[in-house]
Amino acid sequence: MTLMKRILGSLLALIVVVLGALYWLGTRDDASTGPAAAPSDPQQRIERGRYLALAGNCVACHTARGGPAYAGGTPIPTPFGTLYGPNITPDDKTGIGAWTADDFWQALHNGKSRDGTLLYPAFPYTEYTRVSRADADALFAYLRTVTPVSQANRPPELEFPYDQRILLAAWRALYFKPGALEPDPGQSEQWNRGRYLVEGVGHCAACHAPRNSLGATRPADGLTGGVIPGLEWYAPPLTNDPRTGLGRWSAQDIADLLQTGIAAHSSASGPMAEVVLGSTQHLTGEDALAMGVYLKSLPDTPASTAASAAPVSAAAMELGGKLYRQQCVQCHQAAGEGSAGAWPALAGNPTVTAPSPVNAIRIVLDGGFAPATAANPRPHGMPPFGQMLNDNDIAMLVSYIRNSWGNSAGGVTSLEVKRARAAATRN
């Protein structure tokens, strides 16, 4: 009995030590600040912050549709429930009017609110931790200038046990390591700038990295693509895999898509169209190209969800080809080459050749509309075919374009189309 008590006591002590270590790792702060080149002139700092707010697309999560800017309320769906973007206007009671620059830095860099509360990672502090203190201060200075709005923050609507915030300490211990991004002396200034925008301010991994069952991304997985939780769109790989990623793109092609919404190999649609509209079209040409240069330096890692292509029957290709000639050939051309500057090519298009066919299906169902940008104010659009074609027709049509003109992405079933219809209705 005494031996058993000793064993149980040792196990209990071990559990306490492990839990304590997890809590410490999950709540620790990081003091690094990164490059500290902030404009000394107050107006220049505010303007810098305004640009960073656009580059980081802060409006997307902090401005509800039809609501005042930065007053919060935007629903953010996740597999664990719905969170709502908080009010970040300088209102003293409901916004961040009582915050200091140190408080704001703590939120971005260490993922903690003003009172030390651990923040849910729907706020991408996992990427924002790489933002320098100088840029965090500039962003805060800009937010202090927006119109204050008295609007209470809506609490998260999460399922148990995800509504137990204390559990975030364990999640953070496993998946979050705070730390500013230091320049790589072995790379060019342009490359370092691109990495900073992609990995930090632009938080591209929030959509373009695969997530595990606990909603975490891992640096080892890179930007290999994944389904965006709650939206059921597929964010394609940003690696240089020639079949599913950016292998056929140039750095300038990437910059063109970011600034105009359309490029030689594809056009922005779905959530990416909104990103271009609200964020990346406002990038300077130098910054957009720097992001392209950095992304072109990534390895040709295949998509994380890549699977062997499902075979397509000759009958499906024949019927899909007939539908293509009836409905699509006028804009996308007989060889899928598209019309430059108007309708994107389908041959080699990452949206078409992605491991998941959901984007191609949803565009056929609901239409494809590139964003109206300053550089491309009157983009051509694609009408919806969801009312005209049934699930089987769309399955054959998408199967055809995914396996023609050098594409070899596999077939699509009518069940996948049915699911995409249902997802479009929910969203």
Q: Which residues are annotated as a binding site for heme c?
A: 58, 61-62, 204, 207-208, 328, 331-332
- Pairing assessment for the beta strands 234-235 and 226-227 based on DSSP bridges: antiparallel
Going by the DSSP 8-state scheme, the letter that residue 227 receives in this structure is E
In whole angstroms, give the CA distance from residue 426 to residue 333: 33
Residues with Cβ < 8 Å from 304, sequence gap 6 or more? 210, 221, 224, 225, 226, 237
> Cα–Cα distances in Å, from 378 out to 264, 329, 369?
17, 22, 11
Token pair 């931790």: residue? 129
Annotated binding site: 58, 61-62, 204, 207-208, 328, 331-332
User: Residue 305: left (phi > 0), alpha (psi -120 to 50), or beta?
Assistant: alpha
> Reading across the β-sheet that carries 75-78, which strands appear in turn?
75-78, 81-84, 157-158
Question: What single-letter DSSP state applies at residue 61?
Answer: H
Query: Residue 101: what residue type?
Result: A
Distance CA 336, CA 345 (A): 6
CA atoms within 13 Å, Cβ hemisphere of 408? 6
Closest CA to 83 of 53, 113, 123, 44: 123
Sign of CA dihedral 28, 34, 36, 42: negative
Residue with tokens 């293509």: 324
- Residue 115 CA, chain-centre distance (Å), reads 28
- Decide: 398 and 364 in contact? Cβ < 8 Å: yes
Q: How many CB atoms lie within 10 A of CB 75?
A: 14
